[in-house]
Structure 1
Amino acid sequence: MGRKQLWMVIAALILVNCLTIAFFLSKANPAGGAVLDEEAVATIGKETILRQDWLNELESRYGKDVLKEMVDQKVIEEMAAKYKIKVSSQDVDREFRMLQSTTTSFNKQNINNEEKWKEQIRSNLLLEELLTKDVKVSTKELESYYQKNEDLFNVPSAYHLSHIVVSTLEEANKALQELDQGSDFSTLAMERSIEEFSANEGGDIGYISEGDERYPSQYIETAQGLKKGSYSLPIKVDEGYAILKLEGKINGKKYSFSNVKEQIRRQIALEQMKSPASATTFWDDAKVEWFYGQEGN
């Protein structure tokens, strides 16, 4: 599994985890279960959708996937303990740093879930270690891989930005004046920005780094001159004018061969595997039995 594939899996698993929390919180029924079951969660004219109908639909759509994810997490933990496999906090931090710098959707919402991201990264690294625990790769092959793929281990500086995009310089100057008078950048972006996707997120566009083709090169140049929490003067863009706010920054870092030696070993081993990397491989070893039968797939 490649690095980008791993990060896509991590993002998907984070979503599943969020669904898990939402689903089981909604299942919680502290008082008067029968009353809550008959509670209407939506009305359409004279028709209603009952709470229990909604929960049943959630379970039918997501129940198996959510339960499998929960089982997989427990399996990984048990197998890691059985085979005395651990991953260091440095490895988790490195993967998280790379994830922040290269994932286009890494915005405020994801940043606020940093611990959950790191938990999922740790779990995925443990799974990789479990799957490749018996694989030996020569130092020569590891060094060759590093030399050929050195750019993969060179994390560029990345800037977490929000922006307000308006059509005219006059509108931009008016927005800038409101910011100077204490208006909230996020609120103003939702009200004024014509870039609808980011406007819905309070102008948040996540992390971008040099060479990012989604945004004008002026974004990086401008961000380099900002302090965290400050905003820029209006800059000319294709849609009109933009005001940038620097939410945060990750300084670039080049990882040495010794830093990523084990990561490369896992990567080479995983690329040689014929089957997808999955915790299901260890279900028999962990003696898993579950609601949907004996198979994890």
Structure 2
Amino acid sequence: MGKKQMWWVIAGLIGFNIFTLLFFLGRPLSGADDEAVATIGNESITREDWLQEIEASHGKDILSALVDEKVVEQLAGKYNIEIPKEEIDRELLMIKTIYRTYDGQTADDKQLRRQVKHQLALEELLTRDVVVKEEDLKAFYDQNSGSFNIPPSYHVSQIVVKTKEAANETIKELEQGSSFAALAMERSIDEFSANKGGDLGFVSEADGRLDRSMIEHVQNLKVATWSKPVKSAEGYSILFVHEQIPGKKYSYDEVKSEIRRQLALEQMDMPASAKPFWDEADVDWFYGDTEN
């Protein structure tokens, strides 16, 4: 699973950057092209300046990603490739809980689901003619079954302060309506999470990122609630649970298609790219060549 895990880390980061840029590039101009998006003293940066810089720096990558998406969509239709909802749901859970490339600040479920569906359809296209023996699929599952298990996981944020008094004061402010993320950035002494509004992403007892006593407090919290002050190595922590995911063990039949794609790609020894299909899809684009 390591090879695929690495792909997801890279693809998640690239995908987020591309789709974020697509969002900004796709926004309609809300006025003249010289609308200011930033001012520095008496000088300003216009929306046109901004978008031109984005296009110059990232335009080819963004357009290439859009072409790839359409190529995969069209050829998946041509070859009757459909990705079951259950497979997309499973990959989303894996990304959240095991690969941890997702948190509430970097991508929403709709965007991530779109990327997952695209990637699985691409893998099916690339490997549709590759034969993998049933015994090889079963052997891989037997040797790696633990990799297909999702531990109970929790999307957690924290605020860490030095004293119990400071923790109680923070809780009072939360009860009065203050933002958890804002308070974490303002006063948490854990710099790593404070910079992200206290967000730790998804944690589990298995990954060891929180000690057992902290995990026990998290397990007893309802979603969208915070804890009382919890003694920690740095002082006192206030924990907040955004989402809980129950543990899940996937059977061989549930992950057989995923294993087939993975072993087929390893046999082919090639990157999971849509570029080999551009000619078949008759791509003609702004940058001319299709050897992108």
Q: What is the TM-score normalised by the length of structure 2?
A: 0.91
After superposition, the Cα gap between the structure-2 partners of 1:10 and 1:44, relative to the gap in structure 1 and judged at 3 Å, is closer
**Structure 1 match to 2:24:** 22
Distance in 2 between the 1:282 and 1:89 partners?
A: 25
Amino acid aligned to 2:75: M
**Structure 2 match to 1:53:** 49
**Structure 1 match to 2:5:** 4
Q: Please give the residue correspondences for 1:215-230 in structure 2 after superposition, counting only pairs within 5 Å.
A: 215-230=210-225
SS at 1:108's partner residue?
coil
State whether residues 169 and 234 of structure 1, in contact with CA within 8 Å, keep that contact through their aligned partners in structure 2: yes
Distance in 2 between the 1:218 and 1:124 partners?
A: 38
Distance in 2 between the 1:10 and 1:178 partners?
A: 35
Number of residue pairs aligned between Structure 1 and Structure 2: 290
**Structure 1 match to 2:66:** 70
Amino acid aligned to 1:291: F
Distance in 2 between the 1:285 and 1:210 partners?
A: 48
**Structure 2 match to 1:282:** 277
Q: Please give the residue correspondences for 1:261-276 in structure 2 after superposition, counting only pairs within 5 Å.
A: 261-276=256-271
**Structure 1 match to 2:127:** 132
1:76-129: per-residue Cα shift (whole Å, max 9, x none)?
A: 001101111111000000101111112335322346x10111111011000000
**Structure 2 match to 1:109:** 105
Give the counterpart of 2:90 among 88, 91, 94.
94
State whether residues 151 and 206 of structure 2, in contact with CA within 8 Å, keep that contact through their aligned partners in structure 1: no
Distance in 1 between the 2:179 and 2:41 partners?
A: 39
State whether residues 38 and 52 of structure 1, in contact with CA within 8 Å, keep that contact through their aligned partners in structure 2: yes
Structure 2 residue runs without a partner (length 5+): none
Structure 1 residue runs without a partner (length 5+): none
After superposition, the Cα gap between the structure-2 partners of 1:3 and 1:218, relative to the gap in structure 1 and judged at 3 Å, is farther
SS at 1:2's partner residue?
helix
Distance in 2 between the 1:286 and 1:164 partners?
A: 51
SS at 1:248's partner residue?
strand
SS at 2:223's partner residue?
coil
State whether residues 2 and 267 of structure 1, in contact with CA within 8 Å, keep that contact through their aligned partners in structure 2: no
Distance in 2 between the 1:51 and 1:230 partners?
A: 40
1:203-228: per-residue Cα shift (whole Å, max 9, x none)?
A: 22221112324333333222112222
State whether residues 16 and 106 of structure 2, in contact with CA within 8 Å, keep that contact through their aligned partners in structure 1: no
C-alpha RMSD over aligned residues:
2.1
After superposition, the Cα gap between the structure-2 partners of 1:152 and 1:30, relative to the gap in structure 1 and judged at 3 Å, is same
